[in-house]
Structure 1
């Protein structure tokens, strides 16, 4: 395609795009779900948290599962941005490591209580509930209670991001934005362990 034809095509595209954008005028706090077997659910959510930090928007993170290990995101936020982003690690590790359903349930309930407190504080413009879908999958939390709270009590302009595999249908139905990460290829299958800077 020559330069003139390309320019004409892009000009038409811009007109059509501008027309569509002119109809998008509403604002609201979104319920955002990142799920699926592919890598990148928490990473993408933390990207949004760092965007909020960059815009000096108050935000918060509650980690439901990843309690036992240090992560780059947590270390950076706690050392540099704790005045903008509250960070609460409430889990004690992956469920296959703890192997204690009653303790996992107790920890998930405590994390959910903290999450509700942070969501209700309308100073927080975004709250990330990292790996909450795992707690919901194993019924440590009642998905209907979580959805009802988000529907009935979340401040209008607060964004809530929920990550983890196997998001429940009720949550997907309620959410404004749902992304499923699809696994195509992963180095773990070739004997490569989780590596610093990539996985944590």
Structure 2
């Protein structure tokens, strides 16, 4: 070994010992409330990454989409055709609010999606429930944030993970969450005239 590699090995050994000491104190398990928000891309993608992890571990899970409508997406098609036995998929929205242009209908659909979400979360067999784009419904007050917070705090089974996505997450939701990630927008191809593309956005 050279002096440089010996110094590196000693430094890494010291770092590993410190890390192992920290990890030894992390023994708890619980169902997490996870929020993916922010203006950057990747919020739903991160949520679906967790859903596919659950599927890979043979853990029952479910998805409720609050805003996205009937448009075909890769994740929905894959889950419905190959993993419907372990992951229930419910697309409850009819598209973004500027497309539907019917506030009363949007509220009705959001309320129906929330009712379905509560049923899925209450079922302890579901280890994870993804509430995709619920933050948009909450932002427009289509669903009462106080009701959502109270439900998650009092009715969510102890070991169930709930993932909530969408920009502009409410502060009340951030306050009760165990994990919050803010996706920051640095660059976006849409600004350069590039449309949403298969395999990237859907």
Structure 1: any 5+ residue segments left out of the alignment?
A: none
Establish whether residue 35 from structure 1 lines up as the match of residue 42 from structure 2. Answer: no
For residue 126 of structure 2, give the secondary structure of its aligned residue in structure 1: coil
TM-score, L = length of structure 2: 0.98
Give the structure 2 partner of residue 54 of structure 1: 56
Shift of 1:68: 2.8
Counterpart of 1:165?
A: 167
> d(CA) in 2 for partners of 1:2 and 1:106?
66
Equivalent in the alignment of 1:149: 151
Match runs of 1:4-43 below 5 Å:
4-43=6-45
- The residue matched to 1:70 in structure 2 has which SS? coil
Show structure 1 runs of 4+ deviating over 3 A: none
Corresponding residue for 2:138? Answer: 136
- Counterpart CA distance in 2 for 1:79 and 1:187 is 31
How many aligned residue pairs are there?
A: 200
C-alpha distance in structure 2 between counterparts of 1:95 and 1:69, whole Å: 15
Aligned to 1:78: 80
**Backbone CA RMSD of aligned residues:** 0.7
Aligned to 2:46: 44
1:25 Cα deviation from its structure 2 partner: 1.0
Alignment of 1:96-107 (within 5 A): 96-107=98-109
